[in-house]
A and B are shown apart, each in its own frame.
Chain A
């Protein structure tokens, strides 16, 4: 036996989801605006809660436990908030400078390895030893990385051998993009199927899904015919 709360969750969820899907009709509608503003409002509230929770747990709780150094984080955070004040926005520059410096330190000390050195060393692979498949893979990887990289040289003239290399790299990129498109489509398809699964399993949810779809489509078509879409849709 399904309780009322569960039914209300499914009914409202499917209605709002179909309202958001109504953009596929081709015109903006107030139903889409309702879904959009619902998501923005509730999601922003959610973000506020969990960030305050993080500041509380990581900052305030640790300060109360005796870690007084973290008082600076609360002070700097409060200074950061003055960024929106027309007169005192300069107060936020100090915390911005500290945060930016630290963030750059964090990222630069690691991406040099993960994004550059290790990628270069992984591209240096044996080209004359190994089985047929390994050799094919290795040669393809080396050729692709080198020629694709030359396509993105923007600071020097692309002529002669470099020009030919860039041209070849472009063709290799198109093959890669075809593959990447297929993988991206797979991802998005999986996302929609996963969403539809949550409203078709178990079976009792399916009528709400299909009913919401029909209801929203009927409403949008009616509003379109009656000329209400333009009137009721909020300004962009």
Chain B
């Protein structure tokens, strides 16, 4: 059994069959095939949800390692593991009210907000210190950035309508074109990578080491 599960060729064949079983029914429109394909997709969604446990186990291992080594500040890791267990426990009491609700609004929500909000300060300070018109390219970046920044302040649009057409032009053409260009490039890259994985040319994705190749 172990040899069967370790067999690299079997893995690649299973992956290819799974791929075809999801990919082809989309274009063939055969009802029975669609139903079976949908079932496989549902199974995939549930199996993928299991993978979160791997991340949690890794988190636990790292935390226990730091606690066992008594590294500086190890009690913070112990606190982290305690809060993890507490949160699971709170959810068993109620997810509408009670300690779960308190933790969501007193801890998780404000910290989640600050986690990303702090970037506004970093962006502002970095932009203020690094945006220098050193050359033509930097000057072009600055000018387009200025025009859009000025337009985005609602007060400007209300009193100085002249910025709006230029800012909208920049956003709907240059920025949109850059977004489209990145989208096309990423799509082509994803297709090429996907084909390579399906054909078995990227064994590391399947967790096969170089030695086993």
Contact = CB atoms under 8 A, between A and B. Distances in A.
Q: Do chains A and B touch in the complex (CB under 8 A)?
A: yes
Interface of A: 5, 8-10, 12-14, 16-17, 20-21, 23-24, 30, 33-35, 37-49, 51, 54-55, 58-59, 69-70, 72-74, 76-78, 80-81, 83-84, 89-109, 111-112, 115-116, 119-120, 122-123, 136-137, 140-141, 144-145, 148-149, 152, 170-186, 188-189, 191-192, 194-195, 198-199, 231-235
B46 A141 contact: no
B111 A38 contact: yes
B6 A93 contact: yes
Contacts of A172: 174, 177
Contact of A232 (B11, B73, B87, B197): B73
A117 B116 CA distance: 34
Contacts of A194: 113
Contacts of B50: 51, 55, 76-78, 80-81
A39 B83 CA distance: 9
B57 interface: yes
A100 B113 contact: no
Contacts of B206: 93, 96-97, 100
A81 B184 contact: no
4 closest residue pairs by CB, A with B: A234-B73, A45-B87, A101-B18, A105-B22
Contacts of A104: 19, 23, 194, 197-198
A101 B19 contact: yes
B181 to A, nearest CB: 4
Given A94-B14, A178-B141, A182-B152, A17 B111 contact: yes
Interface string B70-85: 0111101101111111
A101 B22 contact: yes
Nearest to B69: A235
A143 B155 CA distance: 33
B68 interface: no
A211 B123 CA distance: 26
Contacts of A102: 18-19, 21-22, 40-41, 44
A144 to B, nearest CB: 3
Nearest to A9: B106
A176 B117 contact: no
B30 interface: no
B113 A191 contact: yes
B134 to A, nearest CB: 12
Given A98-B14, A102-B18, A191-B116, A16 B111 contact: yes
Contacts of A176: 144, 174-175, 177-178
Given A73-B47, A98-B14, A105-B18, A181 B127 contact: yes
B32 interface: no
B191 A99 contact: no
B76 A34 contact: yes
Given A5-B102, A93-B207, 8 more contacts: A49-B95, A73-B42, A90-B6, A98-B44, A101-B198, A108-B191, A171-B136, A176-B178
Nearest to B193: A104
B110 A106 contact: no
